[in-house]
A and B are shown apart, each in its own frame.
Chain A
Amino acid sequence: MRKNILFIGVLLGVLSLAAFSAYSQEDIEFVEDSAFTDNMRPLPAFKHDEHNEMAGLECNECHHVYDDDGNLVEDESSEDQECSECHGAEGDEYPMELVRRYHLNCRGCHLSEKAGPVACGECHAKAP
């Protein structure tokens, strides 16, 4: 009986840890945005921390903030927001503007830095 309780306790502990880590900031593994409800392609695999450490990126290079005049606000970042909050084209059947911004941000950087995936299937890879 005691063994069983111990086992269930350990199991619950492991499960809650797994659930917690799956939703924590540290373990982002895909580029996702709630504005994409009907995905045309598989989500791009993206290990957030691993990528940014390797690329040497500051948070606000992607999580940037612009003021009302369209100027970049230095030293501020927008991690608490989804990209679509600013870049979602409202009223569109498909958020083309959001696709555009994602591609320009990710692929644009890969092209100019000559590093990282650039062809469609390299990011939007089907599950093996």
Chain B
Amino acid sequence: MHAIYNFVSGPLAWVAFILFFGGILYQLISRAIMAKKKDAFIYEYWSFYHAFRSILHWIFPFASTNSRNRPVLSVVTFIFHICIFVAPIFLFAHITLINEAFNVSWWFLPDGVADIMTLLVIGACIFFLIRRLTQPDVKFLSNAWDYVLLALVAAPFVTGYWAYHQWPGNQLVTILHMLSAEILLAIIPFTKLNHMFLFFFTRGYMGSEFGAVRFARDW
């Protein structure tokens, strides 16, 4: 078990972070080059003011018509996205591991708060699953990979909750926790999860075109 632990917490973590950050850079640069070649008007239309205006309207619940039409989904996704970022980055256990490896640390959440945030992420994933299975339009648009992706997002949070509460097999689950998080990090840039960083560009462009060219709102 030590060999697996060492491998998953060492080399595999490096591979995951390199693929994550390298993948983000690759996607941003290759798309910027492709846009320059094929859609040069994107650069001409781009307006930071209109881009941010649109991003802000789409990032907060009830600030867009679309969001107001789906109040429950809006609240769930808003909470989900906050928790999926804040809980892992400001978790004491993660910071202490980083501190051991790199001698840097930062502010952390009380464990009880992180625990609740983890449950909120898991709850939101269950909500998304039920939504995919029951809502006709979403069901029609869902394929097998969407369900796998949802499971991959939920896995680090389920295993993290399991390991923290020390349910049976927590040594193995701790390894699975690291492994599932590494898989997730590595695939983010190469799947639709890349909306994590591309959202700001797609939304920003829409905002620019609607705001600066058509003089219209896009929210």
Contact = CB atoms under 8 A, between A and B. Distances in A.
Contacts of B5: 111, 118-119
Contacts of A119: 5, 163, 170-171, 174-175
A54 to B, nearest CB: 16
B96 A100 contact: yes
Given A103-B96, A111-B5, A40 B163 contact: no
Interface string B1-20: 01101100000000000000
A121 B166 contact: yes
Contacts of B103: 100
Contact of A96 (B93, B96, B174): B96
Interface of A: 40, 94, 96, 99-100, 103-104, 107-108, 110-111, 114-115, 117-122, 125-126
Contacts of B171: 117, 119, 121-122
Contacts of B166: 121, 125-126
A104 B93 contact: no
Interface residues of B, number: 21
A79 B29 CA distance: 57
A100 B2 contact: no
Contacts, number: 50
A121 to B, nearest CB: 4
Interface in B88-139: 92-93, 95-96, 99-100, 103, 105, 108, 111
Interface in B57-114: 92-93, 95-96, 99-100, 103, 105, 108, 111
Given A100-B96, A111-B2, A117-B171, 14 more contacts: A96-B95, A99-B99, A100-B100, A100-B103, A100-B105, A103-B100, A107-B100, A114-B2, A119-B174, A119-B175, A120-B174, A121-B163, A121-B166, A121-B174
